[in-house]
Chain A
């Protein structure tokens, strides 16, 4: 029978203000999920070990935690696999990141639910409900299929680098739900949603670290959803208000005028006022040759690029 050691983050606020780590050892059969291991430790060794869980079947989204620093659903992770990955070391178990621990592996999820609610994660149709159901084609549902798979486990928030730097960032799961409804043909709020999600701490705050796509246990690819919301902001004409959107617009202008990025246009176009105030920095960059010529470099066969820019239609 395999024996495994677990190095678990402990925090018992009624016992003391500091967190600590505790090692547990367990004999078990070859098939044991990390959640089952934690529940056995709770049952057999320390009844105070706190963990949030419900379905044990990777659908309720309650048991996300970190195993050896990597965010997982405890119920989806086999202990023997974790040991194979870490070279047989004790399995290090921590609560998900970017949230305040309440007790052991349980974190305060209130900020997550507040952000989730802020994107209006429900259908808001135009006009009164029809007498019969609204029929949606398979093709139309396919567009929002990935985002519909989200189980709100918050694994994508745990290692989100934007959230670590800006606690107010709305975050990957909430924005994925935003796209799930903005992209739903039955919804009547596409334009308003584009505006709602394009503000400060929204779509344009994603730093594209790709941790959300990497960690999501259900294949939602939240970063791709955020990207599609950017596309909706452009198709709905709300692409001037935010510096992040203007940043993207500068790439389109560069593409049209030369095919390569015009870095000298990018800075003032993204942030016209700030770039003026930042003159000393600009001069330092200039002195190091890091301010290229404003005259756009033109790629060969630019005509092809211009035609593509004119012809290619967006289908979000």
Chain B
């Protein structure tokens, strides 16, 4: 029987990076995952609402957790930032019953369901990078990545702070590597895989942010990667949509295709190019398709 999750794709996957949402939905049934919609779930605030109105951030995120609780399932995300914001709120109220009580008082006053603190939040990457998850991939008999050299790019907020995230060692993460190898790819390793892409300040401090993305893009290029893969649509925007800008700002070229994690898996499992929606990428993925023979 398929494992059910309350599906929280996050705003970016629903709007500007629709290819991520579309691919995830196509992939889920192949991996025995049933993604249940959350029609009343809001944005997690992306760290911005926490930075403007911390109590409001907490209450809005607990409202989302409570919706999953009502559905009787845990939450699955496909975005680093959503994962951190939801997990942080969850930890804050689970660790402090008095805080949960005061948040629930606000929820009830607004007509929302109170939260009992019984749900967990996981990311698709975490679900798949376990023995159980890898066996789900194996069952599909992946046609494989044909030795594609993939640079894993974690970004920040799926790893740190480890007191909230906790899936793996933030300084030596291996989950993406495990998936790349299981799918028949080769890992292009580089130091900056868990450094910041600059996205949170990209609109407000573009020059600084483009220096940040340069570090990972240039290192991945120098490691001989055919492409990068990321579990986060915000990292994807910074690395793909803004890549030409980063090239201009740093006086160099990367020509680095950047894949969403579900796209890489979908490619290895033989999902068609129309569903993977490559045409929405700013940096063409031709060399990736050439190596994989898609």
Within 8 A of A (CB), among B38-52: 39-43, 45-52
A210 near B: Cβ within 8 Å? yes
Do the beta carbons of A204 and B201 come within 8 Å of each other? Answer: yes
B278, chain A: closest CB distance, angstroms: 10
Residues of A within 8 A of B171 (CB): 69-70
Do the beta carbons of B204 and A270 come within 8 Å of each other? Answer: yes
Do the beta carbons of A291 and B42 come within 8 Å of each other? Answer: no
Do the beta carbons of B279 and A288 come within 8 Å of each other? Answer: yes
Do the beta carbons of A284 and B53 come within 8 Å of each other? Answer: no
Do the beta carbons of B12 and A263 come within 8 Å of each other? Answer: yes
Within 8 A of B (CB), among A197-248: 204-211, 213-214, 221, 223, 226-228, 230-231, 234, 239, 242-248
Residues of A within 8 A of B161 (CB): 210, 213-214, 221, 223
A206, chain B: closest CB distance, angstroms: 8
Residues of A within 8 A of B43 (CB): 251, 254-255, 259-261
CA–CA, A32 to B177, complex, Å?
Answer: 34
Which chain A residue shows the least CB distance to B14?
Answer: A260
Report the count of interface residues on B (CB-CB < 8 A).
Answer: 64
B245 near A: Cβ within 8 Å? yes
CA–CA, A309 to B279, complex, Å?
Answer: 38
CA–CA, A6 to B246, complex, Å?
Answer: 38
Do the beta carbons of B241 and A261 come within 8 Å of each other? Answer: no
Do the beta carbons of A314 and B16 come within 8 Å of each other? Answer: no
Residues of A within 8 A of B237 (CB): 290
Do the beta carbons of A300 and B15 come within 8 Å of each other? Answer: no
Do the beta carbons of B106 and A312 come within 8 Å of each other? Answer: yes
B283, chain A: closest CB distance, angstroms: 10
Report the count of interface residues on A (CB-CB < 8 A).
Answer: 72
Do the beta carbons of A251 and B49 come within 8 Å of each other? Answer: yes
Contact A165 B204, CB 8 Å, known A209-B156, A248-B48, A261-B43: no
Binds A, one of B23-31, B109-117, B131-139, B265-273: B109-117
Instruction: Indicate which residue in B110, B191, B206, B211 contacts A304 across the interface (CB closer than 8 Å).
Output: B110
Residues of A within 8 A of B51 (CB): 226-227, 230-231, 248
Do the beta carbons of B245 and A281 come within 8 Å of each other? Answer: yes
CA–CA, A266 to B46, complex, Å?
Answer: 12
Q: A247-B48, A261-B46, A292-B15 are in contact. List 4 more A-B contacts (CB 8 A).
A: A162-B208, A248-B52, A288-B282, A312-B53
